[in-house]
Amino acid sequence: MKKKNITHDKHRTPPKPLALFARGIRGSDPIIYDKKPQVAFVGRSNVGKSSTVNALLGVRLARTSSTPGKTQEINFFEVKGKGYFVDLPGYGYAKMSADAAEKIRKHILWYLAGGEVKPKLIVLIIDVRVGVTDNDRDLIAILRDEGHPMLLLANKIDKLTKNERAKVLAHLEQEFPDIEYIPFSATKKENVGVVRARLFALLGIHG
């Protein structure tokens, strides 16, 4: 049997990944002044924020942790070279020390209210089983004061029954009639495609 000659194209450029981890920051950094658009993700610890970012990107880049509140950096993920998904630290973890919680609060406030960044959208993620917390309401007030457009993702919607789901969504609409919300499941991929297309368009990515 003759052996087939297999040739390899050494000059072929490998396909670029959809997204790359760009940088983790704890304060002002040159990436802040990059003119590429940004979409930021924020939410209480353990709402599935990192899982949401990974589901939307289709690749596991945001690090999930079994210890809520562990990640304290602001992580930038560059998407198709066009813009950034920005993963802000999780807040409101009850077992975190007061000093650590205050550092995270100031870090988030610096990004949202420091005046250095004007994100295209703030995506606030909640766990529908817990609902909107006082910390979430404080954040919403800040976003309103700063004039940031926001989208609320009602994550873990797959964990509710049909009746529970209807009640939760009705309550969101009643309490926040001016905020767009989308029922979402990072694990079951509910509305992942819809949200991805929406956010990618804000970064200038179409199709």
Q: 136-165: buried (b, 16+ CB within 10 Å) or exposed (e) per residue?
A: beebbeebeeeebebbbbbbbbeebeeeeb
pTM given for the model: 0.89
Q: Pick one of 3.40.50.10330, 3.40.50.300, 3.40.50.80, 3.30.1490.20 as the CATH number of 19-201.
A: 3.40.50.300
DSSP for residue 159: G
In a structure prediction context, what are the per-residue pLDDT tens digits for the chain, which is 207 residues long?
544 454 445 555 556 678 999 999 988 899 988 999 999 999 999 999 999 999 999 998 987 655 555 567 899 999 999 999 999 999 987 677 888 888 888 999 999 998 888 899 999 999 999 999 999 999 999 999 999 999 999 999 999 999 999 999 999 999 999 999 999 999 999 999 999 999 999 999 986
What DSSP string describes 97-149?
Answer: -HHHHHHHHHHHHHHHHSSS---SEEEEEEETTT---HHHHHHHHHHHHHT--
Domain ranges within the chain, ordered by starting residue:
19-201
Q: Which among 29, 26, 199, 50 is positioned nearest to 108, based on CA atoms?
A: 26
